[in-house]
């Protein structure tokens, strides 16, 4: 059975996603202040091969070319983030109007070409001066963040109609304040619980601020979601371990937002978050979002691990399980996105779901000016097929955004993983549309079909048709 873009309906939103620190560069130009990622990349052995995002894709100077490239690729919606320290160099206080001007130019050019801007307010790049005051562990961040949100909405809300308050709060609090593998490199349970609670408060407060300033906007926030299964599905210890990991990775932030409170009954250590809660915080955690952004890449298999602190659980890497996997060592498992959508759809408080990130990193080879990334084409086809399956079963999924437009700086992994639909030569800044980008373009133009049954790469005709336009 074949299907096309039309099978999703006219109102389904298609697009691509990026993030400021990963593509913009210009890290200290035009009044921009330092962020925790500007600082973190300077630390030894934190980033693959010592890579950093000072220049990255140089989107700050190439934004017009890259937006024009999206137009050429038939991409109708563009999700990007605003760099907090480009707006407030010190995190709060004096506004940097050169930063405001930059995002005005990005937004206006998108609209000029008929591309709808979808703005993420916080995608992990906290201003350095705020981190010196404790960052997300300091409850004062509720005011700092509120000021940033209000400034952005006042300056851009007349044209931006889709807002996402945060990107994956579990990742930036867990990796940045518990494990220390992301900026700002802090570790420990107390750092994590304080930052997590304040982030959860901010995601709701950010929504309230946007709604108070522009009631006509569509407001959401995004969560990472990996489908979790026990490594040994008949082993009671693995089943318990998998449930704990699922609670932390997939339930920690969505449930308090929906008024369900923190899921501490499944992971009792979460009861300690109460020491950071003030009266009425349980109510302040709640906000009625217009949509939830779901970001899925893989599934994880979990085993009981008695020596692991707090959780007594461990994720078994895909490379150890004889399954196909990506450069990130993530299993290629398309049903994961179907299961994620079904799970979110089971929450009655979620009105609409948009897949705000889905994609894969594979090793790409530039040959004769082309990149024939068959595995990425296959990955996208199979995952989009799972999204349609969920939609046809009544799941309230209303959009799909590929991560990502350009090969970029992938946090601690540096420039090694290649997620882009477009190849970037970081020495020359030359862009080359990969076959996956050409395929996605033709799919969006509604000139190619996807088979629900096939696991092989098909639709090369659309790629060939695109060659003359590269």
DSSP string, 90-123: TSSSS--HHHHHHHHHHHHHHHHTTPEEEEEEES
Backbone angles phi, psi at 146, to 5 degrees: -60, -40
Q: Which DSSP letter does residue 311 get?
A: T
Grouping H, G, I as helix, E, B as strand and the rest as coil, residue 319 is helix
Work out the number of other CB atoms within 10 angstroms of the CB of residue 257.
24
- 2-469 has CATH 3.20.20.80 classification: yes
- For residue 141, what pLDDT is reported? 98
- For residue 451, what pLDDT is reported? 86
**Do residues 98 and 31 lie in contact, with contact meaning Cβ atoms separated by under 8 Å?**
yes
- For residue 447, what pLDDT is reported? 87
Catalytic center residues: 168, 357
Give the pLDDT of the chain (470 residues) as one tens digit per residue: 689 999 999 999 999 999 999 999 999 999 999 999 999 999 999 999 999 999 999 999 999 999 999 999 999 999 999 999 999 999 999 999 999 999 999 999 999 999 999 999 999 999 999 999 999 999 999 999 999 999 999 999 999 999 999 999 999 999 999 999 999 999 999 999 999 999 999 999 999 999 999 999 999 999 999 999 999 999 999 999 999 999 999 999 999 999 999 999 999 999 999 999 999 999 999 999 999 999 999 999 999 999 999 999 999 999 999 999 999 999 999 999 999 999 999 999 999 999 999 999 999 999 999 999 999 999 999 999 999 999 999 999 999 999 999 999 999 999 999 999 999 999 999 999 999 999 999 999 998 989 865 443 333 333 333 343 33
117 strand-pairing partners: 78
| pTM of the full structure | 0.96
- For residue 112, what pLDDT is reported? 98
CA proximity to 37, closest of 394, 444, 410:
410
Burial of 277 (0-12, 13-18, 19+ CB in 10 A): middle
- For residue 16, what pLDDT is reported? 99
**Do residues 23 and 57 lie in contact, with contact meaning Cβ atoms separated by under 8 Å?**
yes
Length of the chain: 470
- One-letter-per-residue 3-state SS of 229-274: EECCCCCHHHHHHHHHHHHHHHHCCHHHHCCCCCCCCCCHHHHHHH
| Positive or negative torsion for Cα 173, 175, 180, 183 | negative
- For residue 246, what pLDDT is reported? 98
Burial of 309 (0-12, 13-18, 19+ CB in 10 A): exposed
């Amino acid at each position: 059975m074949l299907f096309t873009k039309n099978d999703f309906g006219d109102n389904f939103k298609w697009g691509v996603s990026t993030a400021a620190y990963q593509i913009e560069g210009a890290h200290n130009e035009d009044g921009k202040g330092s962020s925790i990622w500007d600082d973190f990349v300077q630390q030894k052995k934190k980033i693959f091969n010592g890579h950093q995002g000072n220049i990255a894709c140089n989107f700050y100077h190439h934004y017009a070319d890259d937006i024009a490239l999206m137009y050429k690729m038939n991409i109708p919606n563009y999700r990007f983030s605003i760099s907090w320290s480009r707006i407030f160099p010190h995190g709060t206080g004096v506004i940097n109007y050169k930063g405001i001007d930059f995002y005005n130019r990005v937004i206006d050019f998108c609209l000029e070409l008929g591309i709808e801007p979808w703005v993420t307010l916080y995608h992990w790049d906290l201003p350095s001066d705020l981190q010196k005051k404790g960052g997300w562990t300091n409850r004062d961040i509720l005011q700092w963040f509120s000021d940033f949100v209000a400034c952005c909405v006042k300056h851009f809300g007349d044209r931006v109609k889709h807002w996402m308050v945060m990107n994956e709060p579990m990742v930036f609090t867990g990796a940045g304040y518990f494990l220390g593998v992301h900026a700002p490199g802090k570790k420990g349970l107390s750092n994590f619980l304080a930052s997590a609670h304040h982030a959860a408060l901010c995601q709701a407060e950010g929504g309230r601020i946007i709604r108070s300033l522009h009631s006509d906007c569509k407001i959401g926030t995004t969560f990472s979601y990996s489908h979790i299964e026990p490594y040994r599905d008949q082993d009671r210890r693995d089943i318990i371990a998998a449930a704990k990991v699922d609670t932390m990775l997939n339930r920690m932030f969505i449930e308090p937002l929906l008024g369900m409170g923190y899921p501490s009954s499944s992971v009792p250590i979460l009861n300690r978050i109460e020491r950071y809660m003030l009266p009425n915080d349980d109510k302040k955690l709640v906000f009625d979002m217009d949509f939830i952004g779901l970001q899925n890449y893989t599934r994880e298999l979990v085993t009981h691990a008695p020596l692991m602190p707090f959780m007594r659980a461990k994720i078994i890497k895909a490379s150890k399980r004889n399954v196909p996997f990506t450069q990130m060592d993530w299993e290629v498992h398309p049903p994961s996105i179907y299961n994620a959508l079904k799970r979110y759809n089971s929450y009655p408080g979620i009105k609409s779901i948009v897949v705000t990130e889905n994609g894969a990193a594979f090793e790409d080879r530039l040959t004769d000016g082309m990149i024939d990334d068959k595995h990425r084409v296959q990955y996208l086809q199979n995952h989009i097929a799972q999204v349609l399956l969920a939609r046809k079963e009544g799941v309230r999924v209303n959009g799909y955004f590929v991560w990502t437009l350009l090969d970029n700086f992938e946090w601690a992994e540096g420039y090694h993983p290649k997620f882009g639909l477009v190849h970037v030569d970081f020495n020359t800044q030359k862009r080359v549309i990969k076959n996956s980008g050409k395929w996605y373009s033709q799919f969006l133009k509604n000139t190619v079909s996807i088979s629900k049954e096939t696991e092989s790469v098909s639709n090369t005709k659309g790629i060939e048709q695109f060659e003359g336009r590269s």
